[in-house]
Amino acid sequence: MPDLHADVAVLAPLLGTWTGRGSGDYPTIDSFDYTEEITFGHVGKPFLSYSQRTKSVDDGRPLHAETGYLRVPSPGHVEWILAHPTGITEILEGTLTVVDGALVMELAATVIGRSASAKDVSALGRSFRLLGDTLTYTVRMGAVGQPLQHHLSATLHRKPS
């Protein structure tokens, strides 16, 4: 495997596969629980690759997936480019800091693209915190006439390699 590009060296603690459990709610849907697997990888270029898959805790059916790339265009700044199979794309930008030993990313969507058949998503935000082998996140969403608000949260643990 090639060396990690210097521009994303600060993201090295994310590399690998993470698994865990999360929950979701939103005013227009029933609350739900899910299991999740996320993988961060690299090919020596100035980005990390990202893939995510979730399944229902109830019956194991697939729920959601997304794929994309993380970039660090300047110190303390992070960009996350995502595509969803539901016809949504996100460009998120925000801060990358270390707080009490934890890697913290606070991101907000600067662009949300959607196909003609995708639901109306007007705002997205994500918060990530990585400390040791524990990764936690929340996702905020404004969609289908609802304001930006909590939608998802999960706690994941690094899968042994």
Binding annotation: 28, 119, 151
- Cα–Cα distance between 40 and 38 in angstroms, integer? 7
Binding-site positions for heme b read 28, 119, 151
Separation between Cα atoms, residue 21 and residue 57, nearest integer Å: 8
Contact 141, 124 (CB under 8 A): yes
Burial class (CB in 10 A: 0-12, 13-18, 19+), 8: buried
